[in-house]
Each structure stands twice: as structure tokens, then as C-alpha cells.
Amino acid sequence: MAIASVVVATEAGAAEAVLADLARLPGTEVYGSKENQIVTVIEAESVAALTEGMQRLAAVEHVIGVYPVYAGAQE
């Protein structure tokens, strides 16, 4: 199991739209948001799958950055 806490930065005024899109991503949970920053946690079966999850975050419309705060894996 791999887990990462990630701050997602959005374009100004786009946080609500991004929040709706993040709610649909598998293995992704939103813990809070303030202005144009959203705190999420991603859980995946492997580090490779975790990396794919972060790439999905970065591909969401109006996201301008994905910044891992913590990442770890337990095998």
C-alpha cells in the first residue's frame, strides 16, 4: 500500500470545479481547501499506481500544480 498527501493548486476561482472533479477520482480523498489550494490524500496498491494517481490530479482541468507533502509505502 502506498499513500501520499498532496496539495493541489488551482487557477484563481476554479477550486469548486476542481473539487467536483477530484471527488470522481479513484483512491483520492479531499481533506480541505482554502482559496486556490486543495489538500488531498491518494492511496494506491503500489508506488507506480500512486504516481499514476498524481498524474491524474495534474491532468484535471484548472489544476496548475500538484505538490506532494508526504509519501510512503508499506510492502
Q: Where are the domains of the chain?
A: 2-73
- Average per-residue pLDDT for the chain: 94
CB 47 within 8 A of CB 2: yes
Q: What digits encode the pLDDT tens for the residues 55-66? A: 999 999 999 999
Q: What digits encode the pLDDT tens for the residues 40-55? A: 999 999 999 999 999 9
The pLDDT value given to residue 75: 65
Cell numbers at residue 4, please? 501520499
- CB half-sphere exposure, 14, CA atoms < 13 A: 14
Q: What digits encode the pLDDT tens for the residues 19-47? A: 999 999 999 999 999 999 999 999 999 99
74 falls in which pLDDT band (50, 70, 90)?
confident
CB 31 within 8 A of CB 19: no
CB 63 within 8 A of CB 33: no
CATH class of the 2-73 domain in this structure: alpha beta
